Amino acid sequence: MKELQRFCFQRHGFIALIGLIWLVTSVASQGQTSALDKGGVVFSVKAYGATGNGTTDDTASIQHAIDAALSGGGGIVYLPAGRFLLKGTLTISRMDLVSLVGAGMGTNLIVNSNLGISLLSTAAVLTSAHLYHSGRIEGMHISCSNQSKSIAVQMTDMVADPQFIDLTISKCDQAFDLINKNAWNERLVARNVTDDYNNHLFHLDQNPSNQWDSYGYGIYDGIFINKAAGQDVFWMTGGGNLYNSRIVIKGNFDLNATGASVFNLDGSMGKPCPGAVDNSVDVAVEGASYSVLKSNGNGCKGGLWGSAFFRGTGLVVPMGKPAAGGGIDSITNMTGGSVLAATFTASDAVSDSVAARGVIPNTPCFVQPTNAIAAGAMNGTYVSSTNWGTVKVDHPAKAAGGTFQIWCTAQ
């Protein structure tokens, strides 16, 4: 009897194994793997003809995998290790249904066109806040062949924001181009993103009639940057404003990164002015010539430009180390925030009196260097007194020619 039971078990087990092999083979033959990820079937781009050899244009093959995922009700479009060349643009019409996932740094998406990935608006099909964070781009290295004009990822009117996770973006004009035209954009999540010398990491652009429909409640956590002259992390144009977001930025600016900035508020003629309020900000970067905030009105009207840029509980440590003078270790504090009151170039005297907007007597003010001379003279440079619209800055003689920003607590 035991021998008969063993025979039946072995026979049935063998049949089950054959059935499992048939199931996997059958699913794979349809361009899918049998793996499941958060409820979505995985569609491997290799099954749709992608080569990953770095020389063959894989745009059409990857697009076929995306289209198959959409036709099947959604899923994970998987890019294994390899170099996938894009001479065209990948279009994802429902980012709430499709995720683009790589195998880590072994997956390199090479953008050899003006736009690599286009994420179309979900405003017409989604209205519920519960549908945020349903799609993602994760685990890959995206590089651009033409840094002067290539965009890695562009998204327009995304009611259901994707997540950008474990990504390195290299030498693009814009890594993430976020556009609002007819709908808001909220709750974007960017985690563990490395900015490898992109001209702009996040471009926040806005052209709606309601200037408040913009970019809020985002999480930018673990943004590591490498930047050169004239580059920025957040480039805000057309009235785009950033609010109620958590922002953690670390990394390095090159020693000669003149004109580079963490936040670049760039107004446009006749449009609402860009700005940002009520953000929890932690900036700790090294470099000898850059600005935490650079702003230019350029004829914009209204909006948030000129208001307190940083409010909330975020500490801004621009040099990655405490600033000198009076034990001050940041240009914001835990109860309020700071506005950019003035920019000045130090004289060859040991102190300068600087006109600073919005300053009243005894206002706490902090100094930030914006070029190499100023950075080398931070020891001993600090705001020694404030009066109505005037700030006195003490500094060593070697600070002469150094350019500084003065930040003062918002009143």
Residue recorded with tokens 């092999």: 21
Residue 29 is predicted with a pLDDT of 40
Residue 132 is predicted with a pLDDT of 52
Confidence at 90, pLDDT banded by 50, 70, 90: very high
Q: What does R_g of the chain's alpha carbons equal in angstroms?
A: 26
Q: Are 192 and 122 contained in the same domain?
A: yes
Q: Of all residues in the chain, what percent are helix, strand and coil, respectively (each to 5)? A: 15, 45, 45
Write down which residue in 334, 354, 385 finishes a domain: 334
Q: Are 190 and 205 contained in the same domain?
A: yes
Q: Are 247 and 340 contained in the same domain?
A: no
- Mean pLDDT value across residues 317-346: 56
Q: Are 131 and 61 contained in the same domain?
A: yes
- Mean pLDDT value across residues 61-88: 95
Confidence at 322, pLDDT banded by 50, 70, 90: very low
Is 1 within a domain? no
- H or E, element range at 9: helix 2-29
Which residues have CB under 8 Å from 194's CB, separation 6+?
167, 168, 169, 224, 225, 226
365 or 221, which is more confident: 221
Least confident of 145-149, 340-344, 352-356: 340-344
Residue 114 is predicted with a pLDDT of 97
Grouping H, G, I as helix, E, B as strand and the rest as coil, residue 273 is strand
Determine contact, residues 330/302, Cβ cutoff 8 Å.
Answer: no
Which pLDDT tens digit goes with each residue over 143-197? 999 999 999 999 988 776 789 999 999 999 999 999 887 767 778 899 999 999 9
Is 18 within a domain? no
Number of independent structural domains in the chain: 2
Cα→Cα distances 35→46, 94, 231, 347, 377, Å = 15, 21, 41, 67, 58
% of the chain surpassing 70 pLDDT: 75
Is 11 within a domain? no
Q: Are 345 and 301 contained in the same domain?
A: no
Least confident of 22-31, 218-227, 312-321: 22-31
Write down which residue in 334, 355, 377 finishes a domain: 334
Q: Are 136 and 261 contained in the same domain?
A: yes
Cα→Cα distances 142→62, 112, 177, 189, Å = 15, 11, 14, 18
Is 9 within a domain? no
Distance in angstroms (rounded) separating the CA atoms of residues 180 and 200: 17
Which residues have CB under 8 Å from 257's CB, separation 6+?
227, 228, 229, 230, 231, 287, 288, 289, 290
Q: Which domain holds residue 133?
A: 30-334
Q: Are 295 and 384 contained in the same domain?
A: no
Q: Are 293 and 402 contained in the same domain?
A: no
